[in-house]
Structure 1
Amino acid sequence: MSYFLTALQAEGLKICKSKVIWITAAAFTIAPLMAGFFMVVLKSPELLKSSGLLEAKAQFAGEANWPSYISLHAQIIAVGGILIFGFVTSWIFGREYADHTVKDLLALPYSRAVIVMAKFIAAFLTNTILSTYVVTLGFFIGWIIGLTQWSSTIVTHGLYILVVVTILTIALCTPVAFFASYGGGYLAPLGFVIFTLVLSQIVAIAGFGEYFPWAVPALYSGVTAGESALGWGSLLIIFITSLLGVLSTLYWWLLADQH
């Protein structure tokens, strides 16, 4: 346990001292700002009468109220989270190869499994903090805008959806760690992230989104009326996908030849 805590602390220091994570957080800030801007457009469409295209796009956000606003944030995390969370995971695992520090980790006097699990926990905590930051900023922006239909029931249900979507999206980042380890850098995992992001949109449009793990969070993020669109089959698919990502990454670090 002491080895694990030491490894986790080391990963935390790497993350806190890196500019990459702060730049990523700054980039993710665009999402709640755009969501708030769409709400302003929906509340005061006369402000942008000369820009019919932008107003039409804002209509996709629904109405200028808290249920639509929270649902929009859930969709942002479900879709944008695949890219942002995947990038964070690929950086945490791939940087060791890009910076040529993997040999130093392998020389440490404890199991490689400790290193891998510490990285997974660090990735989970970092992505959770990023998601919490985006949601908190989004709520602050919504409060400034003065959206309607605020109630404890709506907020509680919305936060429940946000938590579920966040956990599901982060869980689907484990295969990214394997591709970062197998590819020895950033290109392979980022290519995999982009591939899953594009393919999830195609599969969802085809009507088979509930069977494709990376499309499930986006489908669930649209639920606002209280009924659950997340079946046990979809949950099982996500669990198996996440587990395979963890096990394959462990296998690579434990058994594959490291140079």
Structure 2
Amino acid sequence: MIPGLRAALQVEALLLHRSTVLRIAVPALVVLVPCGSFGAVALARSGYGVGAAAVKLAPYATGDPGTTVMVALAQILSVAVLTAGGFATAWAFGQPFTDGTAGASFGLTVPRTTIALARCLVILASLAAVVLAATLVGLALAALAGAALATAPPSTPPGLGQATVTALTAGMLGIGLALPFAWVATVTRSAFGTVGVLIAVIAATQVIVLLGAGSWFPYAASSLWTGMGGAEAAAAVGLPQLALAAAVGPIAVVAVVHAWRRLTDV
């Protein structure tokens, strides 16, 4: 085992789980996102949606209600996990520079590279647990939607399993896509600066999608794959594009560890 990794994991887990960022992100992702997915489907089928809202909710107005809830969940998770994960990494890696505690890492027996690796792994594990919990809550609400909104007797439609896997995969991809902001926080030594970069990336993603290159841009590929841009855009995203998006996380971890190895003055 890497020297000191177990101790570093325990300390980083304690710090993250006590953070305000995680206390906000957990209920938002586990409760609000699934409830929002259920609400979108219910509103789409209620007939009360008008104007622009009706147009946006139109894809949720047909098909099996439970499956549609999970489709909506996948689309929302693909963005929500990236945003929450970006804030979490910005805080975890940027705040120590802001409050001056990063300098203490030079006096520890545990190498700085081990601390950086442990911090990345804790963020990964914590957000993965949150995504899994959100998916399970979504499944419960999908069952409720199937019983309350279906026009036929409740059953398990063949598309529900695929929609569930899509939601889970989109959430996990979002975690990996958030990890580069740990490198940004290390380089800029600023949590607020990292949040600014996160917002800029999200804005740039919209422009890239409008230009038609979204399928090969990792920050757009996962959302397009869930159907957020329509069926045609989803069909343009295949295994190569998803593999490229999945590679972002491991590359980011290597970059973060390397950046922490090169720290000379905090």
Specify if TM > 0.5: yes
User: In the alignment, residue 9 of structure 1 is paired with which amino acid?
Assistant: Q
User: Aligned residue pairs: how many?
Assistant: 255
Cα distance in 1 for partners of 2:223, 2:52 equals: 24
Residue 3, structure 1, aligned to residue 1, structure 2: no
User: In the alignment, residue 15 of structure 2 is paired with which amino acid?
Assistant: K
Does the CA contact (< 8 Å) of 2:215 and 2:221 recur in 1? yes
Q: Which residue of 2 aligns with 1:171?
A: 176
Does the CA contact (< 8 Å) of 2:83 and 2:178 recur in 1? no
User: In the alignment, residue 207 of structure 1 is paired with which amino acid?
Assistant: G
Q: Which residue of 1 aligns with 2:22?
A: 21
Residues 151-190 of structure 1: matches in 2 within 5 Å?
Answer: 151=156, 153-190=158-195
Residues 52-67 of structure 1: matches in 2 within 5 Å?
Answer: 52-63=51-62, 65-67=65-67
Structure 2 alignment gaps of length 5 or more: none
Identity %: 21
RMSD: 2.6
Cα distance in 1 for partners of 2:120, 2:131 equals: 16
Report the CA distance shift for 1:44/1:240 in structure 2 as closer, same or farther (over 3 A).
closer
Report the alpha carbon displacement of residue 214 of structure 1 after superposing the two structures with TM. Answer: 0.4
Cα distance in 1 for partners of 2:264, 2:94 equals: 16
User: In the alignment, residue 33 of structure 1 is paired with which amino acid?
Assistant: C
Does the CA contact (< 8 Å) of 1:124 and 1:170 recur in 2? yes
Provide the secondary structure at the position in 2 that maps to 1:151: coil
Residues 74-223 of structure 1: matches in 2 within 5 Å?
Answer: 74-145=74-145, 146=147, 147-148=149-150, 150-151=155-156, 153-222=158-227
Provide the secondary structure at the position in 2 that maps to 1:172: helix
Report the alpha carbon displacement of residue 184 of structure 1 after superposing the two structures with TM. Answer: 1.3
- Larger mean CA deviation between 228-237 and 73-82 belongs to 228-237
Report the CA distance shift for 1:94/1:30 in structure 2 as closer, same or farther (over 3 A).
same
Alpha-carbon displacement from aligned partner over 1:120-163 (angstroms, at most 9, x marks no partner): 11111121122223222222233333344742632321222123
Report the alpha carbon displacement of residue 6 of structure 1 after superposing the two structures with TM. Answer: 1.0
Residues 39-58 of structure 1: matches in 2 within 5 Å?
Answer: 39-45=41-47, 48=48, 52-58=51-57
Report the alpha carbon displacement of residue 42 of structure 1 after superposing the two structures with TM. Answer: 2.7
Alpha-carbon displacement from aligned partner over 1:227-250 (angstroms, at most 9, x marks no partner): 975434324533553344223222
Cα distance in 2 for partners of 1:231, 1:141 equals: 29
